[in-house]
Amino acid sequence: DIQLTQSPSFLSASVGDRVTITCRASQGISSYLAWYQQKPGKAPKLLIYGASTLQSGVPSRFSGSGSGTEFTLTISSLQPEDFATYYCQQLNSYPRTFGQGTKVDIK
Amino acid sequence: EVQLVESGGGLVQPGGSLRLSCTASGFTFSTYSINWVRQAPGKGLEWISYISSGSTIIYYADSVKGRFTISRDNAKNSLYLQMNSLRAEDTAVYYCARVQPSSLTGFMIYTFDIWGQGTMVTVSS
């Protein structure tokens, strides 16, 4: 199985900050990676797929990059509605594993 | 509106069984593959099962293999998860998630684009 490791697990930031989350895969997955946002009590929401393609309707302050084993999710200017937990997911093979999550909290 | 709605969760004793349902609306259910994903209280997301549009391809996570069975009835726009021999560690919110194929430069990718609101399963005596 492909393991995904996110860092950091917890991040404290202020509105307007630039935020970067990293996801590392235990083996190469090309660009078969997605990012999701989850707010408390809600289902995950797809943000980015193919490592860097923005899902329709997602604000352009979100961006993704990387390929192979190292990927990043960047929020260029953190907004109040962005405080949430973010997960990466590999779409290269089954089982479709997720990273452990990164909680973005208010500083 | 494109929507998935789960139902069937509840409290069950260890060793018991439960059947979850996921009902689709707003899209042609029979043409999409679907997954089940669960989330234990305060924990991360865990993929547990996949079924193709015609039920010809099925996958399970090792943690549920032999105990859970995924199925679908395209005539009823419904997906099911039969859960047997339940354990305390199966306590979680269970989500169904649609697979959306997307064509990118040089490859196809299959994302989980629509999720239900989840149904809570609690395994406890």
Least CA distance to A51: which residue of chain B? Answer: B109
Helices (H) and strands (E) in chain B, counts: 0, 11
- Mean pLDDT value of segment B88-107: 94
**Which of A32-41, A92-101, B73-82, B102-111 shows the lowest per-residue confidence on average (mean pLDDT)?**
B102-111
Selection from A24, A23, A27 nearest residue A1 by Cα: A27
pLDDT of residue A106: 87
* A10-19: burial string, b at 16+ Cβ within 10 Å, e else: ebebeeeeeb
pLDDT of residue A94: 95
* A75-85: burial string, b at 16+ Cβ within 10 Å, e else: beebeeebbbb
Mutation to test the A interface, candidates B109, B114, B115, B117, most A Cβ within 10 Å = B109
- Mean pLDDT value of segment B43-47: 98
